[in-house]
Structure 1
Amino acid sequence: MTFQPAVWRLSLIVPRHAAEAFAEALESLSGAVIWPMIEDPATAEIRLDAFLADEPDQAAVRAAIEGAAAACAVAPPRPDIVWLPPRDWLDENRRAFEPFTVGRYFVHGSDFAGPLPAGCIPLKVDAGLAFGSGRHESTAGCLKALDGLAHRPIRRVLDMGCGSGILAIAAAHTWPARVLASDVDPAAVRVAAANAQANGVASRVRVVLSDGYAAREIGHRRPYDLIVANILAKPLRHMAPDLARNLRPGGFAVLAGFIVGDAGAVLDAHRQAGLALARHVDVGGWRTLVLRRPRHD
């Protein structure tokens, strides 16, 4: 059995439109922030949970929260900080993971033993310590976007910020492509590689540790026919020129990890880098952008 060591959980209830700003603030403290998939666009507030190995510094927490609140012109939420004892978190996660369908993709955990829906593309994903079970709106939006691009000739794919590897695995099952997946978190790299192996695509999905586009292998494999990046609005804006340099003319980019209200700034940054909007996908207040680099730019 795989046990989760004792951790501290820092929780916030924040306005939905300010969720990304507070998530970035908490990531500066912990590096691991999760929040639930919200189907109802009328939902006004979202709970964010950050997990830390050590007891959080009260002054640092207060400064991060007040900074995000000021940036969004909202009242600072009160943090709820609790210590969680060791538990078999991974086993609990697997037991709670109910299969679901997004487009042609049927997402399920390793414990699923039922029959597969006819004509589906099965994705076996145990998120483990990495983001990306497919239940969050941004991941579901990316899967819908990949489904919409399935008829395109794609031979080389980059999944930037791969988390659990679900999007890299989906790409490998959708096209006979070579897929490079990268993440800045070593735990995510390990989980994504294990998930690729479990899905039978390890021979075509390579997972590397990289801070953005810095890894040498990312540059060696370019240009890419498709780049997928389900991260956050701010890093996506900063990496727009790098994305454009690594995407072949005529290639597509699928970008997610931000609410509808932040999509304009992400789109503007990529338009300045030479990309054009092909379409967008909205899931529960979160937007996925499908962009294309013109063949002659």
Structure 2
Amino acid sequence: MSWIVSLPCTRAEAEALNDDMSALDALVQAPVVVTHELNEDRDEWQVDAYVDDKPGAELLETLVSLVASAKGKKPKVEELPEEDWVTLSQQGLEPVQAGRFFVHTSSYADRVPAGSTSFLIDASQAFGTGGHDTTAGCLAMLDQLKHAGANPRNIADIGTGTGLLAFAAMALWPRAKTIASDIDPASIFVTRDNAGINGVPLGRGGGGLALAVAPGTNHPSIKHRAPYDLVIANILAGPLITLAPDIAAVTAPGGHAILAGLIARQMEPVLAAYRAQGFRLAARSGSAEWPCLLLIKRHRYGWRRKERAYHRASPSDASFGSW
């Protein structure tokens, strides 16, 4: 038997849960969590937590503590019959079409549109099934980057979650070397499983996906493979700001960085952190509330720089060396 714990919530609370489930993941009885909308007009949402055993007090108390609007309400606890509870948990997860990409769960495996690049990503404890605006925005941005003629040969997906964005990048640029990392070991196990399900080859050479458990870019494999033509980081605003110097250090001059996981009011602080590291904003997509940013790392020339410009002013020219 399996169990489901349900609690009403608002959209903001549902999105906050989707962005950071660390409090629930830290529990001994860690659940698979799905949020879905009940009534768009009245901002009525629901969070469902699925577990194998009868929910304990710690899980119930933690769940209530994460949903402020449900203060004083008792979670609904139900025992499920002998069914595939993972499939049940995905019934509220609609497929997502973002550019050429179609991301779906097993429930929609027979409804893939012709001509689309599809990925089957089932619900798990890792973030990034494609349903959240941040993930969908990144998929659309990758598609736009391909249409613009970009051809990265070395790609890093920092904070990969389910591996989806790394898979999408590999579908667009199949000869590129790609590495996906996450601070959570469970995410790397999920990514490995999803790679097998979607026919994504693992490996360290061109066309293969390398995996690493790492906080940010702090891993020998990530540093050894740098610099990257494309870095993807769909995480949260705080870690994005903290990681700005590290991401800049592994991004090649002229390379792209796709940043997401921030809300609109956090965009300027995030941009300021990356501008200070030599990036400029090239494009913005995603929803109004959840922007996705495309940055380009500027080339730096001059006698104190590692790069040199040719057929231009000499290093002694006092007007030279800006960027």
Q: Same fold by TM (over 0.5)?
A: yes
Show the counterpart of 1:276: 280
User: Deviation at 1:206?
Assistant: 2.2
Q: What TM-score does the superposition give when structure 1 sets the normalisation length?
A: 0.77
User: Quick check: 99-108 or 83-92, which moved more?
Assistant: 83-92
Which of 34, 48, 55 lines up with 2:57 in the alignment? Answer: 55
> Quick check: 2:87–2:106 contact (8 Å CA) kept in 1?
no
Show the counterpart of 1:188: 187
Return the alpha-carbon distance in structure 2 between the equivalents of residues 95 and 78 of structure 1.
23
Return the alpha-carbon distance in structure 1 between the equivalents of residues 285 and 42 of structure 2.
19
Show the counterpart of 1:139: 135
User: Deviation at 1:236?
Assistant: 0.8
User: Deviation at 1:50?
Assistant: 7.9
Q: 1:115 to 1:284 in 2, by over 3 A?
A: same
Which of 92, 95, 104 lines up with 2:100 in the alignment? Answer: 104
User: Deviation at 1:201?
Assistant: 1.4
Show the counterpart of 1:222: 226
> Quick check: 1:7–1:54 contact (8 Å CA) kept in 2?
no
CA offsets 1:137-164 (integer angstroms, 9 cap, x no match): 1111101110111120111111111111
1:127 and 2:126 correspond: no
Return the alpha-carbon distance in structure 2 between the equivalents of residues 14 and 292 of structure 1.
33
User: Deviation at 1:119?
Assistant: 3.0
Q: 1:59 to 1:82 in 2, by over 3 A?
A: closer
Show the counterpart of 1:169: 167
User: Quick check: 181-190 or 113-122, which moved more?
Assistant: 113-122
Show the counterpart of 1:253: 257
User: Quick check: 137-146 or 210-219, which moved more?
Assistant: 210-219
Q: Secondary structure at the match of 1:189?
A: helix
Return the alpha-carbon distance in structure 1 between the equivalents of residues 50 and 235 of structure 2.
18
The AA in structure 2 aligned to 1:200 is G
Return the alpha-carbon distance in structure 1 between the equivalents of residues 37 and 70 of structure 2.
22
Return the alpha-carbon distance in structure 2 between the equivalents of residues 222 and 43 of structure 1.
48
Instruction: Give the number of equivalent residue pairs.
Output: 280
> Quick check: 1:14–1:46 contact (8 Å CA) kept in 2?
yes
CA offsets 1:185-232 (integer angstroms, 9 cap, x no match): 222111111111222112312222112222221112111111111111
Return the alpha-carbon distance in structure 2 between the equivalents of residues 214 and 29 of structure 1.
25
Q: Secondary structure at the match of 1:202?
A: coil
1:288 and 2:288 correspond: no
The AA in structure 2 aligned to 1:228 is I
Return the alpha-carbon distance in structure 2 between the equivalents of residues 108 and 128 of structure 1.
13
Return the alpha-carbon distance in structure 2 between the equivalents of residues 254 and 37 of structure 1.
28
Q: Secondary structure at the match of 2:75?
A: strand
Give unmatched runs, 5+ long, in structure 2.
27-31, 203-207, 301-322
Return the alpha-carbon distance in structure 2 between the equivalents of residues 30 and 111 of structure 1.
25
> Quick check: 1:229–1:255 contact (8 Å CA) kept in 2?
yes
> Quick check: 1:20–1:258 contact (8 Å CA) kept in 2?
no
* Structure whose alpha-carbon radius of gyration is higher: 2
Show the counterpart of 2:113: 117
> Quick check: 2:152–2:229 contact (8 Å CA) kept in 1?
yes
User: Deviation at 1:91?
Assistant: 2.1
The AA in structure 1 aligned to 2:262 is F
Q: 1:112 to 1:29 in 2, by over 3 A?
A: closer
Q: What TM-score does the superposition give when structure 2 sets the normalisation length?
A: 0.72
The AA in structure 2 aligned to 1:198 is I
CA offsets 1:256-297 (integer angstroms, 9 cap, x no match): 112111111111111112211011113252111111101226
Q: Secondary structure at the match of 1:149?
A: helix
Residue identity (%): 35
CA offsets 1:30-80 (integer angstroms, 9 cap, x no match): 568765589x8x997877778898634999999x879xxxxxxxxx64545
Give unmatched runs, 5+ long, in structure 1.
67-75
Runs of 4+ in structure 1 displaced over 2 angstroms?
Answer: 5-16, 18-24, 26-38, 42-62, 76-89, 93-100, 108-119
